[in-house]
Amino acid sequence: MKDATPTPGKLTPTAVNKRGVNNSKGPKQTTSLEMERTPANQDKSPPAKKKPPSKPSTLESGDVFEATTAGAGREVSMLLSKLAEVLSERAAADTSQMKELEGILTEARNLESYLKEKKNHLRQTLAVISDKLMG
C-alpha cells in the first residue's frame, strides 16, 4: 500500500478530490496552491533547490571512521572470543564423549571374551558328559 503523505510535485488522490469539490454555481476559481500542484505549471517553475546535507569536516569524518572501525574491531574480537570459547567447550564435550565411548567399547570387548570363554567351557563340560553317557 502506498504512503498517503503528499510529495512535492505529485498529485495525491486526496488533493484531486479536494480541488474538485466546489459548491458555488459560478466558474471555479483556482488557488495558488492548486496552481503550484498542476502539472502544466511545474514545467514553467524552476526546480526547487535542495539543501545539501551538512558534511562533517575531513578531520571529523576521519575520526568517525576510526571510531567506527575501532568499535567494529572490538565487536569482532568479542565475537571471535565467544566463538573460541564455544568451540573449546564443544571440543571438551566431544573428548569426554569419546572417552566414555572408548570405555563402553572396552567393556563390550571384555564381555565378549568372557562369554567366549564360558561357551568353550560349556562345550568341554557337555563333551565330558556326552563321553560318560556313551561309554
Q: What is the pLDDT of residues 14-73, one digit of tens each?
A: 444 444 445 555 555 555 555 555 555 555 555 566 665 555 555 577 788 989 999 999
Torsion angles phi and psi, residue 22, rounded to 5: -150, 115
pLDDT above 90 covers a percentage of the chain that reads 50
- Residues, the chain: 135
The region of weakest confidence among 51-55, 82-86, 126-130 is 51-55
More confident residue, 123 or 16: 123
Output DSSP code: residue 95.
Answer: H
> Measured between alpha carbons, how far is residue 59 from residues 54, 66, 73, 83 in Å?
14, 11, 21, 36
More confident residue, 47 or 92: 92
In contact, 114 and 122? CB cutoff 8 Å: no
In contact, 125 and 118? CB cutoff 8 Å: no
Reported pTM: 0.42
Which residue matches cell numbers 526546480?
A: 47
